[in-house]
Amino acid sequence: MESGFLEFVYDFYKSMKAHEIKLVYEGRVTHQITKAFIALTEAQMSENEEAASVQRKVFHVMVECLQNISRHADEYESGESLYAGKGIFMVSQTDETWCVTTGNAIFNEKVKDLREMIEQINELNEEDLKDLYVKQMRVGRLSAKGGAGLGFIDIRRKTKRKLEYHFLPITDSVSFFLLTTFIPRIL
């Protein structure tokens, strides 16, 4: 093995410890992967004697975020790699919060609409979020992949915190969409 790789592994481990990352995954998201992540996180939370209400919220956010990757990660080719339905998924914790971070490729033509949707969701109060959720359930415009922003609305409602997001350019036509959600450990 190359010593540079071993140093990378150790540096990665130290970084994970410093940022209290409990789970990290890169690749295709499937139903089986989602079930495995829930089980791993459940074991970690049980070990920490996390409140059941916090556990339910973390699991809910995890499922919504993983579904977002599996349904909405765009397919593009980079060199020898094909990125289709793939992304990154991380769960971390601090004394105050659990944090779920996801990232996946998205075509730049979708960035403006996605940014506007998230900004609209972030600006709403609890009552308006509830009304928007009900409206989207009834008459929401569904994308070709089945989304009407319901997952984002639901995450915002459950966590009572704004969605944090960022778009990093990959190519002229593709960006990397990062979404971070914080779930308070004390309710």
Euclidean distance between the first and final Cα of the chain, in Å? 47
Chain centroid, CA 141 distance in Å: 22
Residue 109's nearest CA partner among 76, 154, 68, 155 is 76
pLDDT, one tens digit per residue, over 150-163 is 899 999 999 999 99
98 beta partners: 93, 183
Give the Å distances, CA to CA, from 113 to 72, 118, 148, 171. Answer: 14, 9, 12, 19
Contact 100, 65 (CB under 8 A): yes
How confident is the model at residue 71, as a pLDDT?
A: 77
- 164 has a pLDDT exceeding 80: yes
Lowest mean pLDDT among 44-48, 89-93, 107-111, 178-182: 44-48
pLDDT band at 101 (very low <50, low <70, confident <90, very high): very high
CA 41 to CA 94: how far, in whole Å? 14
Contact 165, 177 (CB under 8 A): yes
pLDDT band at 30 (very low <50, low <70, confident <90, very high): confident
Q: Rounded to 10 degrees, what is the CA torsion of 175, 161, 142, 102?
A: 40
Is 3-184 a CATH 3.30.565.10 domain? yes
pLDDT, one tens digit per residue, over 51-63 is 999 999 999 999 9
Q: Mean pLDDT highest for which of 41-45, 139-143, 171-175, 180-184?
A: 180-184
pLDDT band at 141 (very low <50, low <70, confident <90, very high): low
Structure tokens at 134: 């009900």
Spatial strand order of the sheet with 164-169 comes to 21-28, 86-93, 97-107, 174-184, 164-169
How confident is the model at residue 31, as a pLDDT?
A: 87
Q: Where are the domains of the chain?
A: 3-184
Looking at the chain, the whole-number percentage of residues with pLDDT higher than 90 is 58
